Amino acid sequence: MQAASPANAGSVLAVRGSVVDVVFDHHAPAIHTLLRAGPDQSIAIEVLTHTDPWRVRGIALTATQGLARGMPVIDTGMPLRAPVGKTIRARMFNVFGAAIDGLAQPVDLAWRGVHRAPPALASRVTQSEVFTTGIKVIDVLVPLERGGKAGLFGGAGVGKTVLLTEMIHNMVSHHDGVSIFCGIGERCREGEELYREMQDSGVLDNMVMLFAQMNEPPGSRFRVGQAALTMAEYFRDDEQRDVLLLVDNIFRFIQAGAEVSALMGQMPSRLGYQPTLGSELAAFEERIANTTSGAITAIQAVYVPADDFTDPAAVHTFSHLSASIVLSRKLTSEGMYPAIDPLQSSSRMATPGIVGARHYALAQEIRRVLAQYAALRDIIAMLGLEQLAPADRTVVGRARRLQRFLTQPFFTTGQFNGLAGKLVSLEDALDGCERILAGEFDDWPESALYMIGAIGEAVKPTTLEPHHA
């Protein structure tokens, strides 16, 4: 797979976990060169630093069991490479480009180094076009950008992966391009389920999957993102197709970088993160760009440690995104799925010049009503809804109906909750919100608007249930 050139031979000096020191006979290989060691050369080591003209320190991309001092090391003379070509579609790979879906290794592949520069400024294009997802709360309040970068932020268990898989389901079916799913530090169960799901829904033919599981060494988790980008760049630049890049989870990329940094002996910065966090993340994110030949639209899940949005990992990721979708544990506990917090989420596409005056005004009005409800919640909890002024009571009723209308049954969760998934057009979503704000549903029970698609699916019961706050 990776060609070896034994001209520059070396031997292992020291092994400390995933960190390996190697001394060479002639000269130290260049930074990022891939070395092979072990009895059958199955242990891959990437050069990260030079300690003198003959010695290098590298990080192992595979487990180092069986590696001992004095063992021979081969300089491959090239960096870690990823497979590219038409035959990689509908397949699942690991960081080395080896097929892990139980099928034979694809043929007619070209191999490209994973360390590549971002496209030149002259070749980039900036066009603002909305990327519809069929998910009401996203399309109305946090519209995504075609060729932009969107982040799904949330702590553990608030639904990042579910939302990501729903977006794949909705978009891949009507997205005329190639989708690449990159699992960084994934649970193996999630990867296997996603593969079967894509296979069953018939969209696997236009997908490529790469995985570095949670139990793999940090070096492999740190490089799988670059391998996915190399494949995305091939489809964009060589085949001139639009690419949908899904990354789950970008925090695990940062975490793997912190592990590598600590293993290499670098002094950590704030909260134990690597001092190079900003530049490593920027080198990754800047390769996700639109050029004259095609666009890469990226959607990234971002785990937020302990729900703390001031954590350096979340702060640095925020700065690269055109849309930030924030998931709320409070909404999850209330059963509002998807649990997207409209007051914390934002998108640079939500301007009158891009989405249009009607959509913009409606989104602002929805936010205003929900913000007013949030401000009144403490008063309602202490004094009850009856103590509010009639105008405030109307606002609270409409806000609660809006919250319920913005929930949606997902295709990917139908097997668990028995609800058939719904795909809602932007026009239907806007129409429903407009009618709720106009007071058309003020005398309807809130439950009639919960977990439906378009507003026309709401059914008014013959006997009204009592009004709750």
| Furthest-apart CA atoms within the chain: distance in Å | 88
Cβ atoms of residues 362 and 437 within 8 Å: yes
The catalytically annotated residue of 16, 69, 124, 187 is 187
CB 298 within 8 A of CB 248: no
Whether residue 160 lies in the annotated active site: yes
> What is the four-CA torsion angle of 186, 187, 190, 193, rounded to 10 degrees?
120
Residue from 224, 220, 219 nearest 209 by CA: 224
* Rounded alpha-carbon distances, angstroms, from residue 329 to 160, 338, 343, 400: 11, 11, 14, 17
| 330 classed as catalytic | no
For residue 369, give every residue at least 6 positions away whose Cβ sits within 8 Å of its Cβ, in sequence order, or none: 395, 398, 399, 402, 437
Residue 36 pairs in a beta bridge with 44, 74
Residue whose C-alpha is closest to residue 147's, from 163, 164, 129, 165: 129
Contact, 181 vs 194, CB < 8 A? yes
Query: Can 187 be counted among the known catalytic residues?
Result: yes
Residue 98 and residue 367: Cα distance in Å, rounded?
48
Report strand pairing: 43-50 vs 55-60. Answer: antiparallel
From the candidates 91, 149, 160, 223, give the one annotated as an active-site residue: 160
Q: Is-contact 171 255, C-beta < 8 A?
A: no
Nearest-CA neighbor of 17 among 72, 50, 58, 70? 58
Give the active site residue among 46, 145, 166, 186. Answer: 186
Distances (CA, A) of 387 to 330, 379, 382, 383: 25, 9, 10, 6
> Of 51, 23, 54, nearest to 37 (Cα)?
23
- Any long-range contacts for 194-203 (C-beta under 8 Å, 24+ apart)? 194/165, 194/168, 195/92, 195/101, 197/165, 197/169, 197/412, 198/168, 198/172, 201/169, 201/173, 203/168, 203/169, 203/172, 203/173, 203/179
The enclosing H or E element of 74 equals strand 72-79
Catalytically active residues are: 160, 186-187
